[in-house]
Amino acid sequence: MFVFTIFVLFVFFILYKLLLIVPMREVNVIERLGKFRTVLQPGFHFLIPFFDRVAYRHEIREQVLDVPPQSCISKDNTQLEVDGLVYLKVMDGKLASYGIENYRLAAVNLAQTTMRSEIGKLSLSQTFSERDSLNESIVREIDKASDPWGIKVLRYEIKNITPSRKVIHTLEKQMEAERSKRAEITLANAEKAAMINLSEGERQEAINISEGQKQKRINEAKGTAQEISIVAKAKAEGMELVSSALALEGGNEAMNMQLKEQFIGQVGKILNDADISVVPAEMAKLEGFFEGMEQVTHAVGSNSVKGARS
């Protein structure tokens, strides 16, 4: 039983060394007597026990490697702390095994050095605004250097760009000053627009008033012209009628009678409305005559009295 058990265990051990199942997610590098033989793809394979062995196993799925934060100096001498992520994939298992000792560590270190170099070409503001182009430059440089390692760098993503505290404080002051500047510009533009609108309103009001006054004067002038025209037309028609009436028999006598009636009417109106005594010129002369006669009579009476006393 002991010998049988040893035999069974030996058979299982031989089968274990003989049969190899490679998972779908990886490739295996096989060495025969310490020398590279082949790269086994996913599936079922046979090996020669004690001669063949699995030297390396490589993940063929896309891998994500974390790039630790590191200090960088930008083009304008600003200190930044930058970290990121590297996405890569093993394309050749043989080169990944024998081209470099540890392709993961090498990719991370290369990403750090390349990132420092690329950030040194940009100013502080450009590192934030041109992040996509910075990622593309880093991927291009890493992929070029890692080609002999049998890996393919698919992309690089910068996670955080953190300036020093002094720089952050300076940036905050700069942003505050910029906001104040924009606020002042906005207020100035608002005041300017208000003054323009006010002046436009006053200008339009003055234009409307002047237009109204102009139209008023035009209307008054038209009314006066129409009034003068109507009066003149009426006077002309009246003169024409008067001249026609005078040309008839008895027209002069009728005109004289009409004038006398108007004269008497106007004199009566004046006598009623005036505060002083108003009489015609002929009556005034007659009144003066009687006053003169009264004075003469008074003088003659006085002389006769004086003669009698003497």
CATH code of 156's domain:
3.30.479.30
The dihedral built from the CA positions of residue 195, 199, 200 and 201, taken in this order, carries a sign that is: positive
What is the amino acid identity at position 266?
Q
For residue 108, the tally of other CB atoms under 10 A from its CB is 18
- The predicted-structure confidence for 35-65, as pLDDT tens digits, reads as follows 888 888 888 888 887 788 888 888 888 899 9
Local confidence band at 126 (pLDDT 50, 70, 90 cut-offs): confident
Q: Could you give the CA distance from residue 128 to residue 119 in angstroms, rounded to a whole number?
A: 10
51 in a structural domain:
yes
Helical packing angle, 251-273 and 165-247, nearest 10°: 130
265 in a structural domain:
no
pLDDT at 283 over 60: no
156 in a structural domain:
yes
For residue 54, the tally of other CB atoms under 10 A from its CB is 14
Both 90 and 54 in one domain: the answer is no
The residue out of 144, 163, 182 marking a domain boundary is: 163
Local confidence band at 78 (pLDDT 50, 70, 90 cut-offs): confident
Local confidence band at 291 (pLDDT 50, 70, 90 cut-offs): low
Both 110 and 26 in one domain: the answer is no
44 in a structural domain:
yes
pLDDT at 169 over 80: no
pLDDT, residue 307, reads 46
Both 38 and 130 in one domain: the answer is no
User: Average pLDDT of the chain?
Assistant: 78
Both 45 and 73 in one domain: the answer is no
Angle 34-38-41 (CA atoms, 0-180°, nearest 5)?
Answer: 130
How are the residues of the chain apportioned to helix, strand and coil, as percentages rounded to the nearest 5? Answer: 65, 20, 15
For residue 42, the tally of other CB atoms under 10 A from its CB is 14
What's the full length of the chain, in residues?
310
Hey, what are 247's tokens? 């040309």
Both 20 and 94 in one domain: the answer is no
Both 39 and 75 in one domain: the answer is no
pLDDT at 300 over 50: no
Both 71 and 92 in one domain: the answer is yes
Residue pair 92/155 in contact by the 8 Å Cβ criterion? no
pLDDT, residue 260, reads 65
Both 98 and 53 in one domain: the answer is no
Report helix, strand or coil for 67. strand
Instruction: Give the range of the structural domain holding residue 112, as residue numbers without chain letter.
Output: 63-163
231 in a structural domain:
no
Q: Could you give the CA distance from residue 84 to residue 64 in angstroms, rounded to a whole number?
A: 10
Percentage of residues in the chain having pLDDT higher than 70: 76
pLDDT at 73 over 80: yes
pTM over 0.85: no
- Domain total of the chain: 2
179 in a structural domain:
no
pLDDT, residue 52, reads 81
Report helix, strand or coil for 230. helix
pLDDT, residue 115, reads 86
- The predicted-structure confidence for 183-223, as pLDDT tens digits, reads as follows 889 888 988 888 898 888 888 888 888 888 888 888 888 88
The DSSP annotation for 148-159 comes to: GGTEEEEEEEEE
The residue out of 163, 186, 211 marking a domain boundary is: 163
Both 50 and 114 in one domain: the answer is no
Both 159 and 93 in one domain: the answer is yes
Give mean pLDDT, residues 10-15: 70
Report helix, strand or coil for 78. coil
Report helix, strand or coil for 123. coil
Q: Could you give the CA distance from residue 96 to residue 104 in angstroms, rounded to a whole number?
A: 10
Give mean pLDDT, residues 153-165: 84
Least confident of 66-70, 119-123, 252-256: 252-256
Both 109 and 86 in one domain: the answer is yes
What is the amino acid identity at position 138?
I
Both 15 and 82 in one domain: the answer is no
